[in-house]
Copies of this chain bind each other. A is one copy, B any other.
């Protein structure tokens, strides 16, 4: 049985630059009250950029929360009020230098709906033109162009272990 939970009260624990944390007290019909820990996030985009040669643009960067360098598609957080498509154009340019003639939304998903409202929009970018990247001062990454077939193999071998990257690549296999 599906039961919706009504918010009785909400305690704001932290308001940050990337996330906020709040604890909601919810009422469950005939079951009383429960606490829900909720991480608020403003949303993000990931860009599956395919070059004229049919290669996919991947980046490698160090991620502090996991203390590890991982493979990812270019991605970034939505700025307040920013349109996801504009964000995708901006982040692709910033991280890889590419501008895209075509930027098409192919999927959106919740990364972890059990504790967070983070939503990621996946765009397919084609008609790429190379240019200068514009990395933020605190952003460090390496850019690679990889054969699509090789990238799929990296998922199967689990060398890719990032949600948005696997979803974007596996979906591309279905639709392009």
Which of chain B's residues have a CB closer than 8 A to the CB of A28?
138, 140
Task: Produce 1/0 per residue, A146-158, CB < 8 A to B.
Answer: 0000001001101
Q: Decide if B37 touches A163 in the complex (CB within 8 Å).
A: no
Q: Answer whether residue A81 sits at the interface, using C-beta atoms and an 8 A cutoff.
A: no
**Which single member of B2, B16, B63 contacts A60 (CB below 8 Å)?**
B2
**Which single member of B13, B112, B141 contacts A116 (CB below 8 Å)?**
B112
**Assembled-state Cα–Cα distance A72/B62 (Å):** 30
For chain A, give the interface size range: 35 or more
Which of chain B's residues have a CB closer than 8 A to the CB of A83?
none
Q: How many copies of this kind of chain does the complex include?
A: 2
Q: Decide if B115 touches A70 in the complex (CB within 8 Å).
A: no
Q: Answer whether residue A9 sits at the interface, using C-beta atoms and an 8 A cutoff.
A: no
Q: Answer whether residue A161 sits at the interface, using C-beta atoms and an 8 A cutoff.
A: yes
Q: Answer whether residue A145 sits at the interface, using C-beta atoms and an 8 A cutoff.
A: no
Which of chain B's residues have a CB closer than 8 A to the CB of A110?
63, 66, 70, 161-163
Q: Decide if A163 touches B167 in the complex (CB within 8 Å).
A: yes
**From A75, which residue of chain B is reached at the shortest CB distance?**
B114
Which of chain B's residues have a CB closer than 8 A to the CB of A1?
140-142
Q: Decide if B41 touches A64 in the complex (CB within 8 Å).
A: no
Q: Decide if A66 touches B174 in the complex (CB within 8 Å).
A: no
Q: Answer whether residue A126 sits at the interface, using C-beta atoms and an 8 A cutoff.
A: no
Known: A142-B1, A156-B175, A167-B163. A114 touches B14 (CB 8 A): no
